């Protein structure tokens, strides 16, 4: 039997201050549907936000789904959404890093902050925590790649979504260095949203994009623990 995850609009109650599900969430869910069987497996969803990815995992037959987020509003939102969707998701408040050592999972899903930010801007707080990730966009991705083996069972799989501006090859190299077998399994080009539009001149100035380009490529990386 094939179970298809519902459209994002059908599973997410949007809450002020919580990252609204967008193309990256949909691309991550689609990649999971196409490249792994969740039925009967344990799933960890990091940086869950509204919980749409965790809810999709539950509806795809996962034996259990645990979701983490550092934002109290996101935790409340994802719990509300899971209850409304009629699925069981354990939602935990705290940094994803705290999940390391709390058990291993068959499948780990991650849509972490990955937008590069000008070094001249002050430290982020509030909703911007959901996307701002340091000058190279790797503030969360680098430690996550290093910790991935500790989160996965033997034979387990990580799915990580990020932007081309965050260094896809760097992520592949970091995951490989951590002992995982990593490859790109999905790509999608999308127009800049409000955040990248506001930083377009800085992206051009720093050579991250070409003059006049207002599109980015989203990428989903799959990494398997041998």
Task: Reduce the DSSP state of residue 95 to 3 states and report it.
Answer: coil
Which pLDDT tens digit goes with each residue over 119-159?
Answer: 665 444 444 555 566 667 788 899 999 999 999 999 999 99
**In whole angstroms, what is the distance from residue 64 CA to residue 108 CA?**
12
Taking 60 as the threshold, does the pLDDT of residue 10 lie above it?
A: no
pTM: 0.86
Class of domain 20-225: alpha beta
Q: What percent of the chain has pLDDT over 90?
A: 58
**In whole angstroms, what is the distance from residue 83 CA to residue 80 CA?**
5
Let me know: does 29 contact 220? Beta carbons within 8 Å. Answer: no
Question: Which helix (H) or strand (E) element contains residue 163?
Answer: strand 152-163
Top pLDDT among 209 and 124 is at 209
State mean pLDDT over 80-103: 93
Compute the chain's Rg from CA coordinates.
17
pLDDT at 122: 47
């Amino acid at each position: 039997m094939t179970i298809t995850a519902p459209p994002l609009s059908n599973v997410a109650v949007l809450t002020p201050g919580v990252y609204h599900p967008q193309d990256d969430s949909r691309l991550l869910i689609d990649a999971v549907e196409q490249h792994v069987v969740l039925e009967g497996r344990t799933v960890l969803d990091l940086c869950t936000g509204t919980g749409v990815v965790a809810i999709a995992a539950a509806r795809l037959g996962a034996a259990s789904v645990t979701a983490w987020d550092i934002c109290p509003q996101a935790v409340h939102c994802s719990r509300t959404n899971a209850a409304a969707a009629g699925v069981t998701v354990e939602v935990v408040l705290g940094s994803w890093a705290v999940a390391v050592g709390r058990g291993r999972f068959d499948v780990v899903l991650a849509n972490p902050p990955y937008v590069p930010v000008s070094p001249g801007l002050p430290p982020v707080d509030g909703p911007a925590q959901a996307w701002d990730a340091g000058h190279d966009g790797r503030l969360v991705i680098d430690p996550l790649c290093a910790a991935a083996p500790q989160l996965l069972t033997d034979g387990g799989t990580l799915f990580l979504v990020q932007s081309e501006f965050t260094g896809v090859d760097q992520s592949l190299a970091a995951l490989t260095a951590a002992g995982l077998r990593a490859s790109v399994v999905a790509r999608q080009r999308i127009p800049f949203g409000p955040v990248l539009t506001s930083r377009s001149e800085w992206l051009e100035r720093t050579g991250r994009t070409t003059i006049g380009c207002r599109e980015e490529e989203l990428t989903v990386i799959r990494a398997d623990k041998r």
